[in-house]
Amino acid sequence: MRRACIDIGSNTTRLLVADCVNETLTEVHQERAFTQIGRSLDTEGTIPAAKLDEVAAAVAGQLASARRMGVTEVRCVATAGVRRAANGQALVSQIQHACDGLVVTVLSGDDEGRLAFIGAAWGCRQSNQLLPDSSLGVVDVGGGSCELVVGSPPDQVGWCRSVAIGSSDLLRSEILSDPPSADECARASARVHDAFAGLEPPPVGRAVAVGGSAASLTRIVGPLLDQGPLELTLELLQRLPAAEVAEQHGLDVQRVRLLPAGILILMEVVSLFGMALTVGGAGLREGLLLDW
């Protein structure tokens, strides 16, 4: 059966269309729009009217793409950017009005983490990256929150925490320059450390990172994220403007602007899990389709 899901995140709005048979997904099509809800919030935490229109139009366009491909049922979820916005429900209503028949579900942090875990565990199984009977740690770094999950594949979550900090938050409040200064990164790092203070995840046999920052970093450092390579990449991003890094590595400029913040969060998670992170090939959207 062909299915589709739309994920309205703090940084991006993404469509995934896949053919789903039992527990197998075959990707058919993906789309991405940098809608940047998190960075658009005003001082009262409200999404501006122009941004409401932009996101609703992006979702309507992605829904139309899915339907052209023969998808009759589409699941649509919104994550931290909408969850935290003072007028998040207004965005949900506007999207549902623009997209007749589409239901938008605003995920809790725990639900977001559970779906990311299911998708990451499935991706690990597909690439034979799981050790028998070992626990799996998953981090999903988003624009408005970071989900940490430990459990047993394929879908048994034993420990989950949603940390209310993301790459968009840090870019909006701390990392203002391009390229970012050392002082900006130091302030952002201190804020990340404070946000994760007191967390003690259970021991894991393997740790996987999913989300836009982790996926983009594979273009620069490869599929294994450890303190040394992450620190070197952060130094690179402090020397060169985002446009130059984007051109060198085939990345979107807007994603490169978010990378210093994503790296600082991932470095904190490496310390928490006590091991390097493998970049996962699947995450929340795949988890959403598998959990259908």
In this predicted structure, what is the pLDDT of residue 31?
97
In this predicted structure, what is the pLDDT of residue 243?
97
Asked whether the predicted pLDDT for residue 292 surpasses 90, the reply is no
Cis peptide before 201 (omega within 30 of 0): no
For the stretch 53-73, pLDDT in tens is 999 999 999 999 999 999 998
Between β-strands 136-141 and 206-210, what pairing exists: parallel, antiparallel or unpaired? parallel
Asked whether the predicted pLDDT for residue 133 surpasses 80, the reply is no
Asked whether the predicted pLDDT for residue 131 surpasses 70, the reply is no
Domains, the chain, ranges and CATH?
A: 2-106 (3.30.420.40), 128-284 (3.30.420.150)
Chain Cα centroid distance, residue 234: 19
Chain Cα centroid distance, residue 167: 9
Question: What does the pLDDT average to over 112-126?
Answer: 94
Asked whether the predicted pLDDT for residue 132 surpasses 80, the reply is no
What is the rounded CA–CA span in Å between residue 264 and residue 46? 26
For the stretch 177-210, pLDDT in tens is 999 999 999 999 999 999 999 999 999 999 999 9
Asked whether the predicted pLDDT for residue 22 surpasses 90, the reply is no
Asked whether the predicted pLDDT for residue 20 surpasses 80, the reply is yes
Confidence class for position 126, pLDDT limits 50, 70, 90: confident
For the whole model, what pTM was predicted?
Answer: 0.94
Percentages of the chain per state (helix, strand, coil), in multiples of 5: 50, 20, 30
**Helices 253-273 & 212-221, crossing angle to 10 degrees?**
90
In this predicted structure, what is the pLDDT of residue 127?
77
User: Which residues are CB-neighbours of 199 under 8 A, at least 6 positions away?
Assistant: 148, 161, 163, 272
Strands of the chain (E only): list them: 2-8, 13-21, 24-33, 74-78, 104-106, 136-141, 146-152, 156-163, 206-210, 224-225, 277-279
For the stretch 264-290, pLDDT in tens is 999 999 999 999 999 998 999 999 999
Question: What does the pLDDT average to over 144-167?
Answer: 95
Asked whether the predicted pLDDT for residue 253 surpasses 80, the reply is yes
